[in-house]
Structure 1
Amino acid sequence: MRYFEREGIRFGYNETGPTDAPIVVFSHGFLMDGEMFRPNVAELSNAFRCVVWDQRGFGATGPTDKPFSYWDSARDLIALLDHLEAASASLVGMSQGGFLSMRAALLEPDRFRALALISTRSDVDSEAVQQSFETLKREWARNGAAHVAADLSAFLLGVDFEASPVWIRKWMALAAEHFEHPVDALISRDDITPRLHEITHSSIVFHGSDDIAISPRCGESLASGLPNCKGFVLVDEAGHTPNLTHAERVNPALRDFLMRYAR
């Protein structure tokens, strides 16, 4: 694990692949970390310099004791590129990783080549969903993941994913303190749908057909709103993390897209 710093936070990241190859930065979803991209990096690292990082609150970066927004997280991503002395990169963002990847593209459009967006959306959650995350925040403050880990596994990974125990152990190890900040970033994010026309980079959208966290309709809407979207890939029988649970179906289209537009 390597590290860079911004605003007093020490961010963990890893990179795999030729140092002179085009850079692809992978940004994980809520309650996940960079390990969720292991099967995708394995497929892509012979052709790309794959950079995987852990965002505020998760993985090697760990808890943060102050509020933040996904615009802050977008600036964290840009700071990572500055640390790497990288003039340009392409982005793969899953769920909240997609939220911040789109915001990074809006902040510094000339910095990026292509965007692959997985299980994400440009608008905001319903009031009912926001309230469910408020409930999760209160429960986590009292008991950590002890009473919710199994439900989170089904919600994020599906009921049949054989690696679920690995992720449950990660959630059980997450501290109860400061969990409110990642949750607040999630539920207070702004609607960037009116600005999608500004994201003119080549893009592709992936979504699991059985995603109960973010409806596939949101993915379809996102793909239709991005002016240079090259396709919407519906991953049959996949839930919220298709790149992890159904990598064999995501990798071919992801590799083809990046080979065409990220080089």
Structure 2
Amino acid sequence: MPVAMIDDLPLSYTDSGGDGPAVLLGHGYFLDSSIFTAQVAALSPQWRIICWDARGHGATPDTPGTPYTYWDQARDALGLLDHLGLERAAVGGVSQGGFIALRAALLAPERVSGLVLWDTEATACHPDDKIGYQGMFDALAARGAIDELTVPLSTQLLGDSDQREHWRATWRRGDLPLGPAARCLLDRDDVSGRLGEISCPALLMWGEHDVSLPRDRMDLLHQRLPAASGVHVIAGAAHTPPLTHPVQTNRLLGEFLAG
């Protein structure tokens, strides 16, 4: 994968290239940019699809001892656009990729032509979620990527998809994002009161069986983003529809981008 140096961070990404309008996509927690392989295949070269690995995920390292926020990661995303010489792009992502996309639109609205948001939210980490995630992070740090922990995690993220074993094997082989990346997730701020500032069109999608993120958090985006679509429910999907249900996802995404 190519690497862009963004403020001394070697940020890994893929770029389908071409002259089409740019689309910048960010993955969810515990995953990486490869979850968008089907979108790259279906939508390029009509669109230039750029996918990137967030800090502590995939081939982008974390920064041990240096805390950061999703605002910092939004600056990473905008820095990648600078690196590629792109003035504007549709920006989107799954879960934490959506946290980052929303903040990029708030930081640089003139550079974000549209938002594509899957299974994400604008609020801070719910207290109950925070307790549950902290317990999971502590168990993974203490015991490693054992099946007892990663089987339910893979099902939570991917539902009954046959992709689950691939990701369990990936977690066994690599470093898990349990340092500053975890604090970034748990301590994120609430930007829901600022959603009215985002005027670009926004496509909202949510997995029907997502147990990580309740539907009402997507409904809040629909209510407060001035140019948001309704919430498109991806039948049968869990928390990562672009990976597990690409046919439904790609149809909606292609229609949105064409519009």
Q: Into which bin does the TM-score normalised by the smaller protein fall?
A: over 0.9
- Residue by residue over 1:236-260, the C-alpha shift from the partner in whole angstroms, topping out at 9 and shown as x without a partner, is 2211111111111111111000111
- Residue by residue over 1:34-89, the C-alpha shift from the partner in whole angstroms, topping out at 9 and shown as x without a partner, is 00111111111131111011000000113321211100100000110110011111
Q: Letter of the aligned partner of 1:222 in structure 2?
A: L
Matches within 5 A, 1:48-59: 48-59=47-58
SS of residue in 1 equivalent to 2:114 = strand
Q: Letter of the aligned partner of 2:187 in structure 1?
A: S
Task: Quote the Cα distance in structure 2 between the aligned partners of 1:243 and 1:117.
Answer: 11
- 2:111 aligns with 111
- 1:238 aligns with 237
1:173 Cα deviation after fit:
2.0
- 2:131 aligns with 131
Does the aligned pair in 2 maintain the 1:17–1:50 contact within 8 Å?
A: yes
Task: Quote the Cα distance in structure 1 between the aligned partners of 2:5 and 2:50.
Answer: 16
1:125 Cα deviation after fit:
2.6
- 2:34 aligns with 35
Task: Quote the Cα distance in structure 1 between the aligned partners of 2:45 and 2:86.
Answer: 19
- 2:13 aligns with 13
- Residue by residue over 1:127-178, the C-alpha shift from the partner in whole angstroms, topping out at 9 and shown as x without a partner, is 11101111122122222222411111011001x21121111111112325x6
Residue 198 of structure 2 corresponds to residue 188 of structure 1: no
Does the aligned pair in 2 maintain the 1:144–1:175 contact within 8 Å?
A: no
Task: Quote the Cα distance in structure 2 between the aligned partners of 1:153 and 1:137.
Answer: 14
SS of residue in 1 equivalent to 2:12 = strand
Task: Quote the Cα distance in structure 1 between the aligned partners of 2:38 and 2:14.
Answer: 14
- 1:205 aligns with 204
Does the aligned pair in 2 maintain the 1:54–1:61 contact within 8 Å?
A: yes
Does the aligned pair in 1 maintain the 2:90–2:114 contact within 8 Å?
A: yes
SS of residue in 2 equivalent to 1:24 = strand
Task: Quote the Cα distance in structure 2 between the aligned partners of 1:4 and 1:184.
Answer: 24
- 1:153 aligns with 154
Task: Quote the Cα distance in structure 2 between the aligned partners of 1:52 and 1:168.
Answer: 22
1:195 Cα deviation after fit:
0.1
1:193 Cα deviation after fit:
0.5
Task: Quote the Cα distance in structure 1 between the aligned partners of 2:180 and 2:173.
Answer: 17
- Residue by residue over 1:174-214, the C-alpha shift from the partner in whole angstroms, topping out at 9 and shown as x without a partner, is 325x6221111111001101000011101110001110000
- 1:101 aligns with 101
TM-score normalised according to structure 1 size = 0.94
Does the aligned pair in 2 maintain the 1:204–1:223 contact within 8 Å?
A: no
Percent of pairs with identical residues? 34
- 2:251 aligns with 252
TM-score normalised according to structure 2 size = 0.95
Consecutive aligned runs of 4 or more in structure 1 exceeding 4 Å deviation: none
> Bigger shift: 80-89 or 230-239?
230-239
Does the aligned pair in 1 maintain the 2:113–2:201 contact within 8 Å?
A: yes
Does the aligned pair in 2 maintain the 1:3–1:12 contact within 8 Å?
A: yes
Residues paired across the two proteins, number: 257
